[in-house]
């Protein structure tokens, strides 16, 4: 059965002290050197899994300037959630914050805390999280997903093998998936298309994708070092990181300025009565509750996170390709729901729960972010150890998703495990905290609804158009930048149905 693990008692039933929590070594700088030498930053998810196997379901780690308590069982994560308070805090990505401070940019909700975070977050939620907002932006995502599939069909027909109309093509789809993620996000956030599916997509967009990749790759090492010192020394690592962010900001600035001109009072008068959805940017500008600087900060953060959906899509296509029976079950459900929906994407998704299950199952095995962090506002007890208020506690998602204590047959790719009847049969302490790729509570990922729907719609249209297979079904080797990704993107064979 899928449960939530057991608790360790003290020798005499007493709660144990914080100092008694198993740890990976007391000297943080020696630990940091070991991380560098053994390339643990790139394999952080595997390091966590090995450490839990060696030390049990809770341990302390002190690396460079960072100190944390790491947990992985749903019952403990549930306890952490109950103590997150009204203004939950996640670990501040200090290199990002330092960039905003040195460039005099405002911070978006990702980097804010306290009442200021809450006020901005509640305004943003109305435009990106609420069901009314989702209903408005779904058709935009659906339009991009359909067009992506048309582009892929043309490519298969032109470059593929086999008889006309039944051709197949084996490619690394990752460059196309990154373009899809950027095109879809721009359409929802800015309310405009940027034409990335043309035969020669713009170099500007490719540079944006490279800048995001460079920003992600340079973040982890900077997290564990005194960033002010690096800034003072003009260290190459810091310089690369800051210039990547500069590029991301200039890309967003250009689009926001265009949007601002498009949405100026004279333009909006022309548009009145048309009721056309103007994207998240347009909605925030029209309501005028956030300053232009804060809108820019939040839209830029959303854009930087938006292309990340391309990574789980690679893993999802791979898993569907190497599990043909699962693929066929999902396709049958999708075909039936699409036929009944009459072109309504929201209805089609609602009637194909296996699509959502496919995304949840992909993110269980390959979580984009490998940890969710919180600082409890009161003292708590985890695994019978005392955790003082204000300690950084990390829920480690990669070991959680692959734990036999939490999931039955954890290595099996099974979207059906997330179905209502299966979930209800597994109710136990903390079992609600098993799917955490987007975080939890008030501080869960602000772009969650855009990302979930974007991925489901693309998979839906791909499954309606293609059969997927893989030239190699060997497990994908993964690595951590700030996000989990394949060391080498998997090749996928797309065969026209």
Alpha carbon 228 to its chain's center: 28
Is it the case that residue 9 has pLDDT exceeding 60?
no
DSSP string of 7-37, one letter each residue: PPPPTTSPPBPGGGS-BS-S-HHHHHHHHHH
- Say how far apart CA 477 and CA 129 lie, in whole Å: 33
pLDDT in tens, 312-324: 999 999 999 999 9
* DSSP E strand stretches across 376-461: 380-382, 385-387, 393-396
- Integer CA distances (angstroms), 234 to 103, 228, 238, 241, 269, in order: 15, 10, 7, 11, 49
At the second CATH level, the architecture of 18-264+275-496 is Orthogonal Bundle (1.10)
**282 closest CA partner among 269, 295, 294:** 295
pLDDT band at 432 (very low <50, low <70, confident <90, very high): confident
3-state helix, strand, coil in the chain (%, to 5): 55, 10, 35
pLDDT in tens, 390-423: 999 999 999 999 999 999 999 999 999 998 766 5
- Say how far apart CA 421 and CA 423 lie, in whole Å: 5
> Whole-model pTM?
0.91
- Say how far apart CA 13 and CA 19 lie, in whole Å: 17
What is the C-alpha end-to-end distance of the chain, expressed in Å? Answer: 38
pLDDT band at 135 (very low <50, low <70, confident <90, very high): very high
When mean pLDDT is compared across 8-22, 161-175, 306-320, the lowest value belongs to 8-22
Structure tokens at 370: 């490998």
- Say how far apart CA 103 and CA 96 lie, in whole Å: 11
pLDDT band at 255 (very low <50, low <70, confident <90, very high): confident
pLDDT band at 428 (very low <50, low <70, confident <90, very high): very low
Strand partners, 169: 494
Helix residue ranges, H only, 368-494: 397-401, 420-424, 448-465
Average pLDDT taken over every residue of the chain: 90
Contact 148, 458 (CB under 8 A): yes
Between 200 and 382, where is the model more confident? 382
Strand partners, 484: 480
Contact 384, 15 (CB under 8 A): yes
How many CB atoms are closer than 10 A to CB 319?
Answer: 23
* Average of per-residue pLDDT across 435-459: 95
Is it the case that residue 1 has pLDDT exceeding 50?
no
Those residues with Cβ within 8 angstroms of residue 347's Cβ, 6 or more apart along the chain or in another chain? 337, 340, 341
Buried b (16+ CB within 10 A) or exposed e, 335-352: eebbeebeeebeebbebb
Structure tokens at 19: 């100092």
SS3 418: helix
Which pLDDT score is estimated for 174? 94
- Say how far apart CA 454 and CA 14 lie, in whole Å: 49
How many CB atoms are closer than 10 A to CB 214?
Answer: 18
Annotated binding site: 445
Which pLDDT score is estimated for 344? 94
- Say how far apart CA 68 and CA 158 lie, in whole Å: 53
Those residues with Cβ within 8 angstroms of residue 321's Cβ, 6 or more apart along the chain or in another chain? 327, 468, 469, 470, 473, 490, 492, 493
Contact 386, 15 (CB under 8 A): yes
Is it the case that residue 429 has pLDDT exceeding 50?
no
Between 385 and 198, where is the model more confident? 385
Annotated binding site for heme: 445
């Amino acid at each position: 059965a899928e449960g939530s693990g057991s608790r360790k008692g003290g020798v005499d039933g007493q709660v144990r002290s914080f100092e008694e929590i198993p740890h990976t070594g007391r000297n943080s700088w020696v630990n940091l050197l070991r991380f560098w030498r053994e390339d643990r930053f790139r394999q952080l998810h595997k390091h966590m899994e090995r450490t839990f196997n060696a030390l049990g379901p809770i341990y302390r780690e002190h690396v460079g300037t960072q100190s944390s308590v790491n947990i992985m069982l749903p019952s403990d994560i549930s306890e952490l959630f109950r103590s997150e308070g009204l203004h939950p805090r996640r670990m501040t990505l200090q290199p990002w914050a330092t960039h905003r401070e040195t460039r005099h940019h405002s911070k978006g909700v990702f980097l804010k805390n306290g009442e200021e975070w809450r006020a901005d977050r509640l305004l943003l939620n109305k435009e990106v999280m609420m069901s009314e907002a989702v209903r408005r932006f779904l058709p935009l995502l659906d339009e991009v997903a359909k067009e992506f599939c048309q582009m892929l069909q043309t490519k298969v027909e032109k470059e593929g093998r086999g008889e006309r109309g039944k051709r197949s093509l084996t490619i690394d789809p990752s460059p196309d998936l990154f373009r899809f993620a950027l095109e879809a996000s721009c359409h929802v956030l800015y309310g405009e298309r940027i034409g990335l599916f043309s035969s020669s997509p713009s170099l500007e967009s490719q540079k944006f994708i490279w800048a995001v990749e460079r920003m992600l790759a340079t973040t982890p090492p900077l997290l564990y070092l005194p960033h002010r010192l690096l800034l003072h020394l003009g260290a190459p690592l810091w310089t690369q990181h800051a210039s990547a962010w500069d590029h991301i900001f200039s890309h967003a600035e250009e689009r926001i300025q265009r949007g601002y001109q498009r949405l100026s009072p004279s333009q909006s008068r022309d548009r009145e009565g048309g009721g056309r959805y103007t994207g998240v940017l347009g909605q925030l500008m029209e309501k005028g509750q956030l300053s232009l600087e804060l809108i820019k900060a939040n839209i830029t953060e959303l854009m930087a996170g938006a292309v990340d959906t391309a990574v789980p899509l690679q893993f999802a296509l791979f898993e569907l390709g190497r599990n043909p029976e699962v693929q066929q079950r999902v396709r049958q459900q999708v075909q039936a729901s699409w036929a009944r929906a009459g072109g309504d994407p929201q209805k089609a998704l609602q009637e194909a729960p296996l699509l959502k299950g496919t995304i949840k199952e992909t993110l269980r095995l390959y979580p984009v972010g490998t940890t969710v962090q919180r600082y409890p506002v009161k003292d708590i007890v985890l695994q019978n150890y005392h955790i003082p208020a204000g300690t950084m506690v990390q829920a480690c998602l990669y070991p959680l998703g692959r734990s036999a204590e939490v999931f039955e047959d954890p290595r099996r790719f099974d979207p059906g495990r997330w179905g209502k009847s299966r979930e209800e049969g597994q109710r136990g302490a903390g079992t609600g905290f098993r799917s955490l790729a987007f975080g939890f509570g008030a501080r869960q990922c602000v772009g969650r609804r855009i990302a979930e729907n974007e991925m489901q719609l693309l998979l839906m249209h791909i499954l309606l158009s293609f059969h997927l297979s893989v030239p190699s079904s060997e497990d994908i080797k993964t690595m951590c930048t700030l996000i989990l990704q394949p060391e080498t993107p998997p090749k996928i064979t797309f065969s026209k149905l």
